[in-house]
Amino acid sequence: MKRLVAPDPYTEAGWRRSCFTVIFGYDTRAGRAFDVVLIVAILVSVAVALLDSIEHLHQRYGRLFLAIEWGFTLAFTAEYLLRLLIVKHTLRYARSFYGIIDLLALLPTYFTLLFPGAHALVVLRVLRILRIFQILHLNRYILETGLLLDTLQRSWRRIVIFLLAILAIVTIFGAVMFLVEGREHGFTSIPVAMYWAVVTVGTVGFGDIAPATPLGRLIASLLILIGYGIIVVPAGMIRTRFGLDYALVRRGAQVVETPIQRGRPAPTPAMPDGVEILSGLGAGDVLVQP
C-alpha cells in the first residue's frame, strides 16, 4: 500500500518544504485551493479533448482546442517537474502510483508530435481525479485501493496460470472449430477461429462469426458453459484473498509474503513470538504478524 502513500518531504525548512505543503498537502487552505484548481483544470482539459473529437466542432474550433490543450499540457508538465523537485526521494515518487499517473497524463500530447491522433488519449488525465480521495479525507477507500493492488500483486502466479489455461482452451477450441466449420463458414484460419473462441468464452458473442453446422453449434454451446465457469475462478481467487487481507489489516496485523525457493516448496521459517502462518495457504502466501 506504500504506492498510494504521500511522498516524504524535505526535513529542512525552505522553498521545497513550503511548496510541498501546498502541492501535496490538503489540510491547509492553500493546499485545498491548489487541489481544487488542479481538479478543475483536469476536468476542463478532458472536456476539451472530448469536444475536439466531435467532427463539426473540430473543424470550427480545432485551432483553439489545440492551443488550449498545449497550454494545459505545459502547465501540467511544469507541475510534474515541480513535484519531482520538492519530494525527498524523486525516483520513488516517479515510480509510485500517483507519479506514474501524472506522467501518463502528459505523454499523449507530446506523442501527437510523432503519432497524429494520439491526443485522444488525453482523457487519461481523468485518472488524476483520484486525488480527490485525499482532499475529501476518504482515506478508507485509499486503504482499500492499496489492498486491492497488493492482492493482485500477491496473486500474480495464480493469475498467470489461469491465463495460460485460458490460452490453451482457446487454442484447442479454435483449431477444432477450424476443422469442423472450415473456411466456407467464416473460420478462414486458426487465428480467426481463436478470435471466435475468445469472444465465445467471454460470453460476449459479437455475431460476426457463428457456427453453422450442428457439431459446431454443440461445441460452441460447450465453450459458452466453460466460459461461465471460468468467470468464477479469478473473481473467487481475488475476492477471497482481498477479504482475507482486509480482515487482517482491520485487526492490525501485518501481511507479508513467505519466501519461495525455485523448484521446491518454501521451508517453514522460524516463527517469532506472536507470528503464525495461515493454514491452507501455500508458498508465497501470507504471514500474520500482529
CB atoms within 10 A of CB 250: 9
Q: What is the mean pLDDT of the chain?
A: 78
- Is the domain of 174 the same as that of 241? yes
- The answer to whether residues 246 and 147 touch, using CB atoms and an 8 Å cutoff, is yes
Pick the closest to residue 19 from 84, 76, 74 (CA basis): 84
Domain that holds residue 198: 158-252
- Is the domain of 184 the same as that of 87? no
Identify the pLDDT of residue 215.
93
Identify the pLDDT of residue 208.
85
Do the domain assignments include residue 151?
Answer: no
Do the domain assignments include residue 126?
Answer: yes
Identify the pLDDT of residue 204.
80
Percent of the chain with pLDDT over 90: 23
Rounded to the nearest angstrom, the gap between the alpha carbon of residue 92 and the centroid of all alpha carbons in its chain is 19
- Is the domain of 241 the same as that of 262? no
State yes or no: pLDDT of 133 exceeds 50.
yes
pTM over 0.75: no
